[in-house]
């Protein structure tokens, strides 16, 4: 299942378009600082390199196995939990929490084929994303997808201590495809993915995962 047009268009370079203003400003500051006072050039140059690294947007190829629910974010698996109900899925489910450091790729991708049924944005605080309370108290954006077989998958972008801007280009009742770019979180954050309890989890705490490529679970 594919959308007629990309949800989040990629740029001519492997850099997220959302990073262009930051790269331009930091580059100008680097050039001006180098001209006026070389230590400033080094300082601003480090900022430019940080932005270049943060907004990188490498191409990703989803695994051939269509039954795999792929990670929507790069990062490290924090924990895997089971719930009888939750704020987004009102039914038993499993949840995988992923911590995204400022050095991870921050472009987020759709974890499975289906249709975006619900999108909920919640303003909130900015606790460190690795803390459990960040899950319900920080700024966040939740998407609920219904798969072609009728199962529901929820994935939540959660802002962190440094992250101050959640970007989501999805709209409700939009068909989506696994691996498709749909948004990002600026400067460090957390992603939580909830899915049916009968699906087999394929990751473990401490494991590194990559958006659009790493299988989190095997769908039924």
Q: What is the pLDDT of residues 39-95, one digit of tens each?
A: 888 999 998 888 888 788 888 999 999 999 999 999 999 999 999 999 999 999 999
Q: Are 40 and 191 in contact (CB under 8 A)?
A: no
> Which residues form the domain of 28?
17-54
Pair 146, 87 in one domain: yes
Pair 85, 139 in one domain: yes
User: If we measure between CA atoms, which residue out of 184, 218, 205 comes closest to residue 56?
Assistant: 184
Structure tokens at 173: 């009742």
Give me the number of domains the chain comprises: 2
The answer for 150, left when phi > 0, alpha when psi is -120 to 50, beta otherwise, is: left
CA distances from 85 to 92, 93, 208 (A): 5, 7, 27
Pair 106, 177 in one domain: yes
Q: Is residue 10 part of a domain?
A: no
Buried b or exposed e, range 38-65, using 16+ CB within 10 angstroms: eeebeebbebbeebeebbbbeebebeee
Q: Are 60 and 213 in contact (CB under 8 A)?
A: yes
Q: Is residue 43 part of a domain?
A: yes
Can you give the pLDDT at residue 19?
Answer: 77
From 26, 71, 97, 189, active-site residue: 189
Can you give the pLDDT at residue 103?
Answer: 85
130 is catalytic: no
**Rg of the chain, C-alpha, whole Å:** 18
Give this prediction's pTM.
0.84
Pair 39, 99 in one domain: no
Q: Are 114 and 153 in contact (CB under 8 A)?
A: yes
Pair 77, 166 in one domain: yes
pLDDT in tens, the chain (220 residues): 444 555 655 656 688 887 788 889 889 999 998 888 888 889 999 988 888 887 888 889 999 999 999 999 999 999 999 999 999 999 999 999 999 888 888 899 999 999 999 999 988 776 766 667 777 778 899 999 999 999 999 999 998 765 557 889 999 999 999 999 999 887 668 899 999 999 999 999 999 999 999 999 999 8
Can you give the pLDDT at residue 1?
Answer: 42
Pair 88, 119 in one domain: yes
Q: Is residue 21 part of a domain?
A: yes
CATH of the domain at 105: 2.70.70.10
Pair 31, 82 in one domain: no
Pair 48, 80 in one domain: no
Q: Is residue 1 part of a domain?
A: no
Pair 146, 190 in one domain: yes
Can you give the pLDDT at residue 101?
Answer: 86
């Amino acid at each position: 299942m594919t959308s007629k047009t990309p949800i989040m268009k990629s740029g001519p370079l492997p850099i997220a378009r959302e990073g262009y203003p930051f790269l331009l400003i930091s580059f100008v500051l680097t050039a001006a600082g180098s001209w006026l006072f070389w230590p400033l050039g080094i300082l601003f140059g480090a900022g430019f390199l940080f932005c270049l690294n943060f907004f990188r947007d490498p191409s990703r190829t989803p695994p051939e196995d269509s039954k795999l629910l792929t990670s929507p974010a790069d990062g490290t698996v924090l924990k895997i939990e089971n719930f009888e109900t939750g704020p987004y899925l009102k039914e038993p489910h499993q949840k995988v929490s992923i911590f995204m450091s400022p050095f991870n790729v921050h472009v987020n991708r759709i974890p499975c084929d289906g249709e975006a049924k619900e999108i909920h944005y919640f303003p909130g605080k900015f606790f460190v994303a690795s803390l459990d309370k960040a899950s319900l108290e920080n700024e966040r954006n939740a998407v609920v997808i219904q798969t072609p077989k009728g199962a529901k998958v929820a994935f939540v972008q959660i802002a962190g201590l440094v992250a101050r801007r959640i970007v989501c280009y999805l709209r409700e009742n939009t068909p989506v495809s696994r691996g498709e770019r749909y948004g990002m979180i600026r400067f460090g954050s957390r992603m939580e993915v909830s899915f049916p309890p009968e699906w087999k989890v394929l990751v473990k705490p401490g494991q590194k995962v990559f958006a659009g490529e790493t299988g989190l679970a095997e769908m039924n």
